Amino acid sequence: MPRTSIHQGAMSGLAILSARAASNRVDYLANKITPNQDSLTQRLVARGLLAGVGLGMRKLPDENDTAWPAAFSRLTGELIEAGAIGGFLYEAITATRHRSSASRKGAIANMAVTAASLSFALYRSRENLKARRDFFTDDFDKLQLTLPKSIAVATVMTGVGTSIGFAHQGTRRAFEQFYGPGFIHTGLARTTNNVFWAGAVTGLYWAGISKIGKSNEKIDPGYAEPPTTSFVSGSADSLCSFEDLGQQGRRYVSDVLPPSLIESTMSEPAKHPIRIFVGFNEQPLYPSGRSEIALAEMERTGAYERGTLLLISPTGTGWVDHSMIESAEFFTRGDLASVCIQFGRYPSFLSLQKVRAGRQQFRQLVWGVHQRLQGMDPADRPRVLVFGESLGAWASSDVVMKRGIEGLDHYSIDRALWFGMPQLARWSAAGMDRPGQLTPDGTVGVFDRWEELELLSVEERQALRIVQLSHDNDPITLATPTLLYRKPDWLGEERGRGV
């Protein structure tokens, strides 16, 4: 996936810091097994032995590559091998440099080798960047990615990380001096130091989270005035105040399509769409409060009199894809009531702990709608659709798919559409794309783009109960903890679009 200069520089900086940490551990082991630190031969032999150990660990067999201990051991072996070989070369080059630096000719040769190595690294970096530009032809021109800026960001990242490492060592030495000598005292000092740093990092994390969360209170230009129509939340008749809707909620209810626009676009009569949004700041004293407000808003706006109900589980920030909701309002000629409950106000990677709340709220919403529909004449019941994106797809799929496809009927749901479901979710692309008892063949479709869905016949599309859009190059739909120690299948010989 294309990266900006900041992203590329940050990843390069983290790679440098990780490599340095691994090499430091290897150096520690090499020094422990070298009797005479002044002997170059012994140091080289020690690193050679470690390289052999690493090679052996890297070659551990695992026929199906499924056992995590073997995969983790192979990764550890790879790091040990790389660190040992790097240390071996460093020791040899350093010794050679010290001998040759005694003469002017040798010093010039060292400088020439250094300059040539740096030039080659810059050349390869430029070539790799050019290759990425050629690969991502559709997206690269929109991104700001330059080699100098990436190098600058990587340098800053490396410097900051190194400074933090030195600071950690400094506080450790201070605690060791405070507690005094001795095995127990040293262990206590290091434990205290780690607790101190863990507390500092946790405090900074939550301070940053709090600052990011304040963006939910931001009032964008054009979204400062409450809507005048009673068909949306935040209006004068609504149970939800416009201020408590938050940034995403205010955008959502204010951008509802007017019937005149739908009529002029579709050349058919249209109704006024209903948009219900319960914001994160609607914080009741009991867990079901937000979903109860949403159900009450549905009664107030006459949502059950519409032909279609669209139940939405948003992203971690509460954002709802405007293209999706506007398309739904156009296609239904406004005969649509959409309902969304916000469960977080941070970017998805910072809202993982909120998935449980999103799951509870969505279960209460769909069950309340189901109970209400059971009291209606079957001929008058609206069609019920579900949409979720990112963490919202995770939360809603856990509710709907607990019984597999039967869960749709259990909650009176006709169909579901999920965008960018995280790989960590049980019903991610990996889970959905396995036809079985819970997901009969032909009822679930996982697609990278719209064109793949169009390749299906009309009958096949009509048989789909669940459509999941998971781009081949979307890291959210592919990232799992196993990436730390195992090469994923999607980096094999057969790769998806943009990978």
Q: Do residues 319 and 184 both lie within one domain?
A: no
C-alpha 90/C-alpha 121 separation (Å) is 18
Co-location of 275 and 159 in the same domain = no
207 lies in some domain: no
3-state secondary structure of 265: helix
> Across-strand partners of 388?
313, 418
Query: What integer pLDDT is reported at residue 213 of this predicted model?
Result: 76
Q: Would you say residue 84 lies in a domain? A: yes
Q: Do 176 and 283 belong together in one domain? A: no
Q: How far apart are CA 354 and CA 342, in angstroms?
A: 10
DSSP state of 276: E
Number of H helices, E strands in the chain: 16, 7
In this structure, the answer to whether residues 248 and 183 fall within a common structural domain is: no
Cα 399 to Cα 356: distance, rounded to the nearest angstrom: 11
In a domain, 230, yes or no: yes
Is residue 495 a part of any domain in this protein?
Answer: no
- Alpha-carbon separation of residue 69 from 61, 173, 405, 483, 485 (angstroms): 11, 35, 35, 14, 9
Residue 270's contacts (CB-CB under 8 Å, 6 or more residues apart) are 259, 262, 263, 333, 334, 335
Residuewise pLDDT in 10s, the chain (499 residues): 666 778 788 888 888 888 888 888 888 888 888 876 777 788 888 888 888 888 888 887 765 656 677 777 888 888 888 888 888 888 777 777 666 655 666 667 667 767 787 788 777 777 777 776 666 555 545 566 677 888 888 899 999 999 999 999 999 999 999 999 898 999 999 999 999 999 999 999 888 888 877 777 788 888 999 999 999 999 999 999 999 999 999 999 999 999 999 999 999 999 999 999 999 888 776 778 899 999 999 999 999 999 999 999 999 999 999 999 999 999 999 999 999 999 988 887 777 888 899 999 999 999 999 999 999 999 999 999 999 999 999 999 999 888 888 899 999 999 999 998 888 887 775 556 555 667 788 888 888 888 888 899 999 999 999 998 888 777 777 777 777 777 777 777 777 776 6
Q: Which residues pair with 149 in a beta bridge?
A: none
Q: By the 8 A CB rule, do 297 and 231 touch?
A: no
Q: What is the DSSP letter of 354?
A: G
Same domain, 167 and 233: no
Closest CA to 347 of 389, 400, 398: 389
> And the tokens for 164?
């933090």
DSSP, collapsed to helix, strand or coil, labels residue 289 as helix
> Is 204 within the bounds of a domain?
no
Show the domain range for 33.
5-188
CB 393, CB 425: distance < 8 Å:
yes
Q: How far apart are CA 43 and CA 88, in angstroms?
A: 8
Residues 348 and 482 in one domain: yes
195: three-class secondary structure by DSSP: helix
pLDDT tens-digit series, residues 154-197 = 899 999 999 999 999 999 999 999 999 898 999 999 999 999 99
- Establish if 76 belongs to a structural domain: yes
| Cα–Cα distance, 2 to 203 (Å, whole number) | 32
Q: Which of 166, 188, 210 is the last residue before a domain boundary?
A: 188
Same domain, 405 and 287: yes
The amino acid at residue 441 is D
The H or E element containing residue 468 is strand 466-469
- The three-point CA angle 50-52-53 to 5° equals 65
Is the Cα torsion angle 311, 317, 319, 321 positive or negative in sign?
Answer: negative
pTM of the model: 0.79
- And the tokens for 191? 């434990």
- Cα 160 from Cα 379, distance rounded (Å): 65
Q: DSSP letter at 311?
A: E
What's the chain's length in residues?
A: 499
d(CA 340, CA 334): 17
Domain count, the chain: 2
Is 210 within the bounds of a domain?
A: no
- Same-domain pairing of 400 and 279: yes
pLDDT tens per residue across span 330-380 = 999 999 999 999 998 888 777 788 889 999 999 999 999 999 999 999 999
CATH number of the domain that 387 lies in?
A: 3.40.50
Pair 157, 224 in one domain: no
Residue with tokens 């019903």: 427
**Residue 407 and residue 307 in one domain:** yes
Q: What are the φ/ψ torsions at residue 340 (nearest 5 degrees)?
A: -135, 135
The first and second tokens of residue 193, run together, are 């130091």
CA angle centred on 474, ends 469 and 476, rounded to 5°: 95
Q: Look at residue 93 and tell me if it is in a domain.
A: yes
> Which of 184, 132, 178, 204 minimizes the C-alpha distance to 473?
132
Per-residue burial over 53-72, b if 16 or more Cβ lie within 10 Å, else e, is bbeebbeeeeeeeeeeebbb
Residue 32 shares a structural domain with residue 167: yes
Listed as own residue / partner, the contacts of 232-239 with beta carbons closer than 8 Å and 24 or more positions apart are 232/256, 232/274, 232/275, 232/276, 232/277, 232/301, 233/275, 233/276, 233/277, 233/278, 233/297, 234/277, 237/300, 238/297, 238/300, 239/293, 239/296, 239/297, 239/300
Query: What radius of gyration do the chain's Cα atoms show?
Result: 29
Q: How far is CA 374 from the centre of its chain?
A: 38
Same domain for 311 and 460? yes
CA–CA distance, 296 with 284 (Å, rounded to integer): 14
